[in-house]
Amino acid sequence: MKTIILAGGSGSRLWPLSRERYPKQFIKLEGQATSLFQETFKRSLLLSSLYDIYVVTNAHYKFLVMGAVEEMGYAYPEDQILVEPEAKNTLPAIYAGVHELMKKGHDTVVVFPSDHIIEAPEDFATLIQSAEALAQSHIITFGIKPTYPHTGYGYIAPGKDAAPGYVVSSFKEKPQLEQAKSYIEEGYYWNAGIFMFSSELFKQEVLTHVPKIAQAFEETTTLNEAFPKIDTKVSIDYGLMEKSTNVAVVPALIGWNDLGSFEAFYDVFKADEHQNIAQPEHILMETKNTLIQAPKGKIVATIGVEDLVIIDQRDALLIAKKDQTQHVKDVVETLKAQGDLRTEYSVQDYRPWGHYIVLEEEKDTFKIKRITVHPGKKLSYQLHHHRREHWVVVRGTAKVTIDDQVIFVHSGESVFFKEGQKHRLENPGKVPLEIIEVQMGQYLEEDDIVRFDDDFGRG
């Protein structure tokens, strides 16, 4: 059995916690040791070998995928990370994965989004294996029994028996509240967005219903060539599931949640006796039914509030009524229209070599960062035309290249670079290297950097 993980979503409904360059599937949520992507990868290993798992993502997330898998201790083949040149929605992404795995022959395929929570992964793996025979004749979607009339999910009407599930009678788009209530009364399921099929059947169904997608891959040899030939963005739900007559739904009692809004945190995290979700150090006076997320070590105090979502980040603060969090996406669109990069980046950014956090900055004067470099990793060999840099090592030992000279800088020591000097930072040790970087000059942005090698490699 093969597994495809879809890891290209931006997670805009959880802004400012989730940003385009570091979306929710890669975040380790409060109190969690692993990210949603890592949990999805572990779940995939219950069904497939390491070499039968394919991840479809974009160029910005490729190194996040590699880093997340490396952190779990696996040497994952980089060529099994398929990079979409542009977002075309789920059907082209899934077809890209199927097209790649079919190079090894036809097989049964399971498709997981990378940002879902499954509380019973072993039970789900057993259910998937029990549905393998059905997947040879039907494209399977897994259905979740609704717990309330959610208006943000699609609904599935089950028809005649098709063990271990049912032939799908119809798909219903996201309904209004009263319609959602009637769907629940009629025994409909939520569409979990998790699919299973035989690769041969899937290819034939795409050729029948959306032939341009299949043809784009047959006429080319790479994703970069195929994707421009696909002239529309199309989801698997709209492009295939609603049109095919060979679709089944298998009910799944697995503790599923897509964490699609801040309200969904109440389905995942434990609330206190006043229905508040917050860190232990926060002070909540006369506060009820409120969710608070803030940077570690920051005290949040609330007095006399209820039904709020408070998401505090160093560069952005969201305060919303709990029943209005569906409009977070509208806030992101407004910021994008204004050209505000805080939809993409936070003060903490992640790179193939580690991460950094901006501690302080003043436009066109200085910027101070705390940089962490993972063991054995290095930054690109680079120079800056308009800024100087001062590095102070606070933990570990830095291997520093300045033009053609190599020096080692130990904890408590520092090094200085002038404009125009080529330099590189490496961590030759076995523990994370941490430095404080002070940038000085009149131009402190990324496009002042001239790189002489790849900043996004594994080295």
Helix (H) / strand (E) containing 292: strand 291-293
How, if at all, do strands 398-402 and 256-257 pair?
Answer: unpaired
Q: Which of 9-13, 104-108, 154-158, 200-204 has the lowest average pLDDT? A: 9-13
Secondary structure of residue 434 in the 3-state scheme: strand
**Distance between CA 50 and CA 238 in Å, rounded?**
31
Question: Do 155 and 171 meet the contact criterion of CB atoms below 8 Å apart?
Answer: yes
pLDDT of 441 > 70? The answer is yes
Beta bridge partners of 407: 400
Residue 10's pLDDT band (cuts 50, 70, 90) = confident
Q: Which domains are delineated in the chain?
A: 2-260 (3.90.550.10), 272-327 (no CATH), 348-451 (2.60.120.10)
User: ω into residue 428 within 30 of 0, thus cis?
Assistant: no
Distances in Å between the Cα of 409 and the Cα atoms of 367, 396, 436, 455 are 21, 9, 13, 21
pLDDT for the residue numbered 457: 40
- Exposure letters 40-56 (e unless 16+ CB within 10 A, then b): bbebbbebbeeebbbbb
Residue 454's pLDDT band (cuts 50, 70, 90) = low
Q: Which of 291, 253, 256, 258 is nearest to 272 (CA)?
A: 291
Sorted by sequence, the CB contacts under 8 Å of residue 97 that are 6+ apart come out as 4, 54, 56, 82, 109, 111
CB-based burial of residue 269 (10 Å sphere; 0-12 exposed, 13-18 middle, 19+ buried)? Answer: middle
Q: What are phi and psi of 179, to 5 degrees?
A: -70, -40
Convert the pLDDT of each residue in 311-348 to its tens digit: 999 899 999 999 999 899 999 999 999 999 899 988 88
**Distance between CA 65 and CA 37 in Å, rounded?**
8
Instruction: Give the mean model confidence (pLDDT) for residues 43-48.
Output: 98
Instruction: Give the mean model confidence (pLDDT) for residues 65-92.
Output: 93
Distances in Å between the Cα of 315 and the Cα atoms of 31, 281, 331, 357 are 22, 21, 15, 11
Distances in Å between the Cα of 293 and the Cα atoms of 1, 269, 298, 313, 314 are 39, 12, 10, 8, 12
Q: Which of the residue ranges 18-32, 239-253, 343-357 has the most confident prediction, judged by mean pLDDT?
A: 239-253
pLDDT of 108 > 90? The answer is yes
**Distance between CA 42 and CA 31 in Å, rounded?**
18
Q: Which of 214-228, 230-244, 436-450 has the lowest average pLDDT? A: 436-450
* Stated pTM of the model: 0.88
Here the tokens at position 364 are 């066109």
Question: Do 195 and 139 meet the contact criterion of CB atoms below 8 Å apart?
Answer: yes
Share of the chain above pLDDT 70, in %: 97
Instruction: Give the mean model confidence (pLDDT) for residues 285-311.
Output: 95
**Distance between CA 55 and CA 5 in Å, rounded?**
5
**Distance between CA 143 and CA 167 in Å, rounded?**
12
pLDDT for the residue numbered 39: 97
Q: Which of 91, 71, 95 is nearest to 82 (CA)?
A: 95
**Distance between CA 138 and CA 197 in Å, rounded?**
7
**Distance between CA 274 and CA 398 in Å, rounded?**
49
pLDDT for the residue numbered 347: 82
Beta bridge partners of 356: 349, 371
Residue 455's pLDDT band (cuts 50, 70, 90) = low
Residue 364's pLDDT band (cuts 50, 70, 90) = confident
Average per-residue pLDDT in the chain? 92
DSSP one-letter code for 271: P
**Contacts from 174-180 at CB under 8 Å and sequence distance 24+?**
175/151, 176/151, 177/149, 177/151, 180/146, 180/149, 180/150, 180/151, 180/155
pLDDT of 459 > 50? The answer is no
**Distance between CA 392 and CA 84 in Å, rounded?**
39
